[in-house]
Amino acid sequence: MKKGLNLGDGHCVQLLQGTVELFPALIRAIDEARVAIQLETYIFDLTGAGADVAEALVHAAQRGVHTCVLVDGFGTAPLPPAWAERFQTAGVQYRVYSPLGPLGLLLPQRWQRLHRKLCVVDRQVLFCGGINVLDDFYDPNYGALEAPRFDFAVQASGRLASQASDAMEKVWRRIQAVSEIRHHHLSSALRSLRAASVASAAQRAGRKAASGMRAALVLRDNLRDRTRIEKSYLRAVGLAREEIIIANAYFVPGRKLRRALVLAAQRGVRVRLLLQGRYEYFMQYHAARPVYGALLAAGVEIHEYAPSFLHAKVAVMDAQTSRPWATVGSSNLDPLSLLLAREANVVIEDAGFAQDLRQRLVQAMDRAGRLLDPASYALRPWRQRALDWAAFGIMRTALWVAGKSY
């Protein structure tokens, strides 16, 4: 049997759906911060509710909290001048991960993006998921949305927060070195917090042992942790005995994961996928369709979500058994996430959490999902098939150029 993740005990993990649940909790934690705030996001957009998060960061920095924001150089547009000035005046340290430069994405090394969405406050509270700093009723490409984006995050305490803090600090220090900017205040603050957290670790663990959850932070990078998220999915799918539900925005799984899902369905596991049903981007929309055939033939149910953009990257398996498994994070099941981007997921083994997530996903499938009919899929128009295979071919060619196998 494959070695599993080292899930720690004593965590408290709360499921949050959409910015309507995440942003109030995030702003509350930022408002209560005393020493340090670390925030990473792919998209940092100040339209609508996104400005509320930015406002909280400004207030935190003004009262002396070391506030560091790292955004992706492709996902995030340049800050509006007024906000850039406010951040600088307040002391918010704002950095850009891998700016594109004059050649943009023509260089394959620029395909390695910062896609994770993390925020750690005082090394004690962690927010992790698929939700950017972006209003759920607004899209940078499509404008105002009639229905909110469908997405999830978690708020966690316990060792997960300090682990995320350490990982984020490593990336931050690398960005500082590359840009030749010296700021030692954050590292000093975090060292102090580490000492305090070590001194009280036993006390915290004792308080939470009775009711805490088993959870782990699973990171993906391009060094040592290149396959951890994919392996966590493969192991969970392989162990599932009754039910698998996956909701994923950009779903182009590799050969191993496709085969694992087919085998699960063939051994009697009910496998349901909630996938993007609304056109957003050419590549992500069309490249996903060619992989549907084998899954549908094996009995996998595919539900397409169309009221708004589906942006979730979550899964729950065997929620109603003695061995529940769930994950919430930033990683799509596609080559960009599994082979190129920095990603972060939280894996939880807890009956209450798994059942909560399952209920929300089943409700979305029942109320807003369109069940894909295998016969209709097989008879889709030739033009759509051509676009699907063209996108899939472009994706495979791009992976070959990048030296990746999938």
The residues annotated with a catalytic role in the active site are: 115, 117, 122, 311, 313, 318
Look up tokens 């594109």; give the residue: 100
- The neighbour count for residue 306, using CB atoms within 10 Å, is 15
Q: Are 262 and 298 in contact (CB under 8 A)?
A: yes
Q: Tell me the residue type at 197.
A: S
Using CB atoms within 10 Å of the CB of residue 141, give its burial: 0 to 12 exposed, 13 to 18 middle, 19+ buried.
Answer: exposed
The two structure tokens encoding residue 347: 């894996």
* DSSP conformation letters of 254-278: -HHHHHHHHHHHHTT-EEEEEEE-S
The partner residues of 276 in beta bridges, in order of sequence, read: 305
Using CB atoms within 10 Å of the CB of residue 158, give its burial: 0 to 12 exposed, 13 to 18 middle, 19+ buried.
Answer: buried
The two structure tokens encoding residue 43: 């998209």
Query: Kind and range of the H or E element at 187?
Result: helix 185-199
Q: Are 220 and 194 in contact (CB under 8 A)?
A: no
Q: Are 346 and 326 in contact (CB under 8 A)?
A: no
Number of H helices, E strands in the chain: 14, 17
CA atoms within 13 A on the CB side of 43: 19
